[in-house]
Amino acid sequence: MIQENISLKTFNTFGIDVKARFFSSFSSLTGLEELLTSYSATPFFVLGGGSNILFTKDVNALVLKNEIMGIDLMHEDEEYVYVKAGAGENWHQFVLHCINNNWGGIENLSLIPGNVGASPIQNIGAYGVELQDAFHCLEAFYIAEKRMVTFTLSDCEFGYRNSVFKKKYKDQFIILSVILKLRKRPSFHIDYGSVKQELERMNVKELSLRSISQAVINIRNSKLPDPKQLGNAGSFFKNPVIPAAEFEKIRGKFPDMPFYRAPYDMVKIPAGWLIEHSGPDEATKSWKGFRRGDAGCYLKQALVLVNYGGATGQEIFQLSEDILKSVKSKYGILLEREVNIA
């Protein structure tokens, strides 16, 4: 069924109230093909969980909501299980399903909002693990040629919050399922940030997929706003990665700036710190906690922009512009948005 002029407010975690000219969902390849054929003259726009998008205007297109479901164990060997998940599955529910089956590899990615189909697009990552670490392949519909294509790990050209689907193949494929390679005997990753500390606080004696997942959930809940309560799309910007030599010059002026060494003689700087330590307010000199109308910079994590209820996408976008300019003029570093702007 195709609906007309419907609000997308409940279909994006920022809670932005824009309208879709047409709207329909599909739960199979055949369903998708039928929609594309009967609406071939209309531009379309594929929506997953709506958790990494900022709508700044009405969508004058057919919005297609991907609802392809199903989790299947495809194959297993001594060490691994190969598990296929439909693009419309909720990511966190999928993570919990894997933990319940004792399949290891994505427990550090617990509680990331959104659907399975979006996870490869930006190579979701958290607490020392990225999707690419457990990725086997994916199946996608090639719109121009109306056929299915399989992408292997190397085909996806994963990078930090990046893949071919954000670059050369942007808007050319519709991801229908993702196949992960998960460990039967898990290897735990607890060295990132405060994971170990949280496990200690929880008094965990023996590590398990479940305890790590719970530690990650606890940390995320303490720092990141729940989109059901406060509209947001997680980190709004990427952490900038700059050449070490450039970083040394900047550090000369700002010795307290935190950083992490990255491959190829690069340095990654937490954008949250840059945003927290620049800002419009004479008193606080910070964007953290800043609010203009219903658009704001989250009080507990400056990297997250929030909608207090009635903000428009334009207002959130303008705030992000102002933050970009302010960080650029103070530190000479140009932040890049992580969230897709539509």
| Residue ranges binding ligand EPU (CB under 6 A) | 126-127, 193, 223, 234-235, 238-239, 258, 270, 272-273, 276, 288, 301-303, 338
| 44 vs 117 by CB, closer to ligand EPU | 117
Which residue's structure tokens are 């001594």? 78
Inter-residue contact 226 to 220 (CB < 8 Å): no
Alpha carbon distance 47, 340 (integer Å) = 12
Instruction: Clarify whether 282 is annotated catalytic.
Output: no
| 62 vs 303 by CB, closer to ligand EPU | 303
> Which residue, among 146, 200, 148, 187, has the nearest Cα to 34 in the 3D structure?
146
Radius of gyration in angstroms for the set of CA atoms belonging to the chain, rounded to a whole number: 21
3-state helix, strand, coil in the chain (%, to 5): 25, 30, 45
| 127 vs 317 by CB, closer to ligand EPU | 127
Instruction: Clarify whether 24 is annotated catalytic.
Output: no
Minimum CB–partner distance for residue 33 and ligand EPU (Å): 32
Alpha carbon distance 161, 16 (integer Å) = 23
Minimum CB–partner distance for residue 117 and ligand EPU (Å): 17
Degrees to nearest 5, angle at CA 133 with 200 and 271: 70
261, β-bridge pairs: 267
Question: 25, 213, 235, 320: which is the annotated catalytic residue?
Answer: 235
Question: 119, 161, 220, 315: which is the annotated catalytic residue?
Answer: 161
279 vs 284, 291, 298, CA distance in Å? 8, 12, 13
99 vs 12, 35, 105, CA distance in Å? 27, 36, 9
In the chain, what is the greatest distance between 2 CA atoms, to the nearest angstrom?
61
| 32 vs 302 by CB, closer to ligand EPU | 302
Instruction: Clarify whether 338 is annotated catalytic.
Output: yes
| 279 vs 313 by CB, closer to ligand EPU | 279
Instruction: Catalogue the active-site residues.
Output: 161, 235, 338
